[in-house]
Amino acid sequence: MRVLVIGAGAWGTALAVSAARDGHRRVSLWSRDVAQASEMRSLRQNRRYLQGMDLPVGLHIAHAGDGPLAALAQAQDLVVVGTPMAGLRSTLSALAGVRVPVVWLCKGFETAQPGAQGLLGHEIWAQIAPQHLPEARCGVLSGPSFAQEVARGQPTALVAASPHADVRDAMVRAFHGPSLRVYANDDMVGVEVGGAVKNVLAIATGLCDGLQLGLNARAALITRGLAEITRLGLALGARADTFMGLSGLGDLVLTATGDLSRNRKVGLLLAQGQTLQQAVDSLGHVAEGVYCARTVVQRARHLGVDMPIADAVVALLDGALRPDEAVGRLMGRDPAAEL
Ligand SMILES: NC(=O)c1ccc[n+]([C@@H]2O[C@H](COP(=O)([O-])OP(=O)(O)OC[C@H]3O[C@@H](n4cnc5c(N)ncnc54)[C@H](O)[C@@H]3O)[C@@H](O)[C@H]2O)c1
Ligand SMILES: O=P(O)(O)OC[C@H](O)CO
């Protein structure tokens, strides 16, 4: 099987490494940065994004200087976009017309532009791909997964979501292996909503832990956060049971509690008194929750969905509330029925 991973950040590299360990797959990792790709070719490491991890001998490194991305993509069995949300639209545009299933790894909503709604991956895809190729097919690979652990071969479970059975199968064939289980799900909307909104909630739990509000508070945030994810997902057309799965509860628990999470780290740093800019600058990697929190809240308001925790995160990121005021606002809400 021939697999192309576009975007040599932490996650794209980790999955390419994991897939390439199986000698039956021909895996290529593409970087837009020619200098980074050249270094990866010579050192067989991605020092910038996955320090200390050797790239398998069989992993082919490709870059923007090798020729048109669409031509390389056309020669594959599966194309995997590993950029952050901010790069998804431009990458899908570059791939328009390619007759190979395209899936992505990013977890977020597109940052909303003035006068427009920020979109999920499948919504961006619908604006671009079918105009060029009506039979174009897409999917998303998501679930609880820190890049470093996957690259090291530590046991991990992912979910491959697409409305198309052949795309789900292609993702399973590309990535399922001895240390990586890939489950299939046809609810792409639910899987995308879970992956996007958990990042916003992980900022909240990071803040909660940084302020030492306690374990009870963290459990409450995770549980009520899952209720917010589910409400928004249902309003967008997802199935409720998806949110009990890997891309819902699973990824929320991992990101909200795992100290490898960049989103959780943003919350921890804000609690220490850092500005948002200082927190983001210190990461060196993308924290999608920072960029999609406003979109989540806008989409929820548009649909009449109540998301008080996400609202508080936005107020905090915008500097409209201090951390202690955000806690006060959440705890001061009127009593409500749980379900
Ligand atoms: N790191 C993880 O553990 C992890 C796990 C699961 C999902 N994700 C998701 O995967 C996505 C990527 O995360 P990451 O951790 O790899 O980010 P990262 O910050 O480590 O790397 C981002 C990479 O994308 C590249 N890039 C940015 N815009 C691009 C564009 N327009 N075209 C091509 N390349 C572009 C950058 O040069 C960089 O190589 C995010 O949406 C993240 O939420 C990350
Ligand atoms: O480091 P984060 O917060 O971007 O989370 C990484 C993955 O999405 C966890 O599944």
Token reading at 264: 């959780």
Contact 317, 290 (CB under 8 A): yes
Mention every residue, 6+ apart, whose C-beta is less than 8 A from residue 17. Answer: 50, 53, 55, 56, 59, 150, 151
User: What does the pLDDT read at residue 100?
Assistant: 97
Looking from the CA of residue 288, the nearest atom of ligand 2 is: 4
One digit per residue, pLDDT tens: the chain, 339 residues?
Answer: 999 999 999 999 999 999 999 889 999 999 999 999 999 999 999 999 999 999 999 999 999 999 999 999 999 999 999 999 999 999 999 999 999 999 999 999 999 888 889 999 999 999 999 899 999 999 999 999 999 999 999 999 999 999 999 999 999 999 999 999 999 999 999 999 999 999 999 999 999 999 999 999 999 999 999 999 999 999 999 999 999 999 999 999 999 999 999 999 999 999 999 999 999 999 989 999 999 999 999 999 999 999 999 999 999 999 999 988 998 899 989 999 999
| H or E segment and range at residue 77 | none
* Ligand 1 site, CB within 6 A: 7-12, 32-33, 49, 82-87, 90-91, 105-108, 145-147, 285-286, 288
The ipTM estimated for the assembled molecules is 0.97
CB 158 within 8 A of CB 182: yes
What does the buried/exposed string (b/e) look like for 273-308 if buried means 16 or more CB atoms within 10 Å of the residue's CB? ebebeebbeeeeebbbbbbbbbbbbbbbeeeebebe
Query: Which of 105, 254, 292 most suits a substitution to test ligand 2, by most atoms within 8 Å of the C-beta?
Result: 254
pTM, two decimals, is 0.97
